[in-house]
Structure 1
């Protein structure tokens, strides 16, 4: 289980990074989303060893990160749900993606191995709406003629707490199912029409691992670490794909980053034959006009270093690095949009 994401682990990392900073080193501060925290901490540790610059990141949630960078009391904020162009303008911020993850539908069906069960987005929505109630429903049997699906009720497991994972999940289901959009909608917490709740990714993973005939959704890392049985999901192009770093990267490569205001792309249901339809990015926020230009430059140097040197750490920790085409666009946005108070460019 990914207990490293807990509060005690977070506090230990923050303290260790603060104490490890050499005298005179630039202390970069950030705060926000919990999802990328383990990776940011690992990047920061290696960055400190290589450059002598310390990065102190506090995992306080996306809302807290947005609030702190808006003041600003930190050098960068972090959020899993991208801000709109209007929100960015109102707060005087520039946004860019930092790394990707994704959500994975997982099942516990006796005799069904990872990647064998295939579902379309609308079928998945109907299961979570309670419209498809049994594993041997004719719709599922027709979709999976080579599988022996049991004559058993489907036990739906969803998150009981509000989360960015649920936001991405419901955002996808609303895209592929008008019924879902009309009756449930999109949110970090919704009124579930079927199933039982588990707290956190670990709660859902435990239910699915222990109980037969279940279906749930978890972060990609939880699916990998717990060896949960993932499904193949039909993407926008009509292809059935598995959740892999390559299919997440394909979704990012297919997205219209340049044409999306603030680069605030939701990576659900992206085009492309190889795209995983439930990919997601997490985002960084910095001031458009910096009152502390050297600190902002230091934050940009850290993420530039991470884009160049952090791919292996991301893979080891079950995140997915952004394609070079996206990180090149990020640097272009830095050069075009970020300024000091007297109008000078901040990057490069």
Structure 2
């Protein structure tokens, strides 16, 4: 299986290659003349990485500007953003009130802009078990270590290997947030977090790593963004709040996202959204940007890239990669938030 790359750095044509890495941060005036915007460097969530990295390549082709995105997980992305070591961060968990006051965010001001939605799907590799359907209680019991054999799920008997994230992750936050709604025992014993003390299982870094471990471990089950469902990494249908078994896709994700209310800072989540057509584990993913302190050109570069990303074509491109595009009031509010980014 060809998994999404860890990073994408769109390259200049050979005639315009910069000398040394430092040149990547400079204005690119040698390739085409005229005023050019500086490159952008961001880091964070692996959940939206396939979309962000595709956008970086398409944005370079469309506008000629460089964006580099490092898929390092939401936890590291927020830490880098608060430290001021990146031009933008990315997270699958909205910032806390404390985060908004901490480090570079507190000094320079911060905005969090929803860029996409996505589902977090149970994913498994078991050729002997097709069309797997899981209740919410069964999914929690698998991660509690109470279900250890595929026979308990109506499949031929074989040991069940649990896979989870080993790094701090917004994907994990949203997944464990839903497990806490699905299971009082999970809520009491394990709880919610970007990183938790897993009762059982093997860990891997990033959605990429979890998908790769599932791919290489027959009899395994984990959780990934639907964009990583491919090859031997199959989706399991999950029972929603209304009792319906749904697969993760753009339609079921959109139905769920439309039932999530965002606050004045455009943050928010729902651990088990209502709706007969809703997939039960769904979340927005955010880009974190500074309101000030980056200079006029860098601020313009951020606004230009973000507004381009919120246009119809990039959003639909993300949908083809397995994400849920923004629509309606959320899209309008996201564009308004971009306007708060100043020099």
Q: Residue 207 and residue 94 in structure 1: after superposition, are their counterparts in 2 closer, same or farther (change >3 A)? A: closer
Aligned to 2:134: 119
Tell whether 2:302 aligns with 1:302: no
Tell whether 2:93 aligns with 1:81: yes
Q: Select which of 183, 188, 194 maps to 1:177.
A: 183
Aligned to 1:313: 317
Aligned to 1:255: 260
CA contact 2:289–2:341 (8 Å) conserved in 1: no
Aligned to 1:144: none
> CA offset at residue 97 of structure 1?
0.9
Alignment deviations for residues 16-55 of structure 1 (CA, whole Å, 9 cap, x no partner) = 8949944431114241215234432332333333334443
Matches within 5 A, 1:188-337: 188-198=194-204, 200-209=206-215, 211-223=217-229, 225-257=230-262, 260-266=263-269, 268-289=271-292, 292-308=295-311, 309-334=313-338
Structure 2: 5+ residue stretches without partners: 18-23
Tell whether 2:26 aligns with 1:26: no
CA contact 1:30–1:78 (8 Å) conserved in 2: no
> CA offset at residue 117 of structure 1?
2.4
Alignment deviations for residues 173-203 of structure 1 (CA, whole Å, 9 cap, x no partner) = 1121110111112233322223344555455
What is the alpha-carbon root mean square deviation over aligned residues? 3.3
User: TM-score if structure 1 supplies the norm length?
Assistant: 0.78
Counterparts of 1:285 and 1:199, CA distance in 2: 22
Structure 1: 5+ residue stretches without partners: 142-148, 342-348
Q: Residue 28 and residue 193 in structure 1: after superposition, are their counterparts in 2 closer, same or farther (change >3 A)? A: same
Q: Residue 191 and residue 331 in structure 1: after superposition, are their counterparts in 2 closer, same or farther (change >3 A)? A: same
Classify the secondary structure of the residue corresponding to 1:192: coil
> CA offset at residue 286 of structure 1?
2.2
Counterparts of 1:210 and 1:55, CA distance in 2: 32
Classify the secondary structure of the residue corresponding to 2:40: strand
Counterparts of 1:306 and 1:339, CA distance in 2: 15
Of Structure 1 and Structure 2, which has the larger fraction of its residues in helix? 1
Aligned to 1:105: 122
User: TM-score if structure 2 supplies the norm length?
Assistant: 0.79
Counterparts of 1:55 and 1:157, CA distance in 2: 32
CA contact 2:253–2:279 (8 Å) conserved in 1: yes
Tell whether 2:173 aligns with 1:167: yes
Q: Residue 50 and residue 209 in structure 1: after superposition, are their counterparts in 2 closer, same or farther (change >3 A)? A: closer
Classify the secondary structure of the residue corresponding to 2:265: helix
Q: Residue 27 and residue 58 in structure 1: after superposition, are their counterparts in 2 closer, same or farther (change >3 A)? A: farther
Q: Residue 237 and residue 301 in structure 1: after superposition, are their counterparts in 2 closer, same or farther (change >3 A)? A: farther
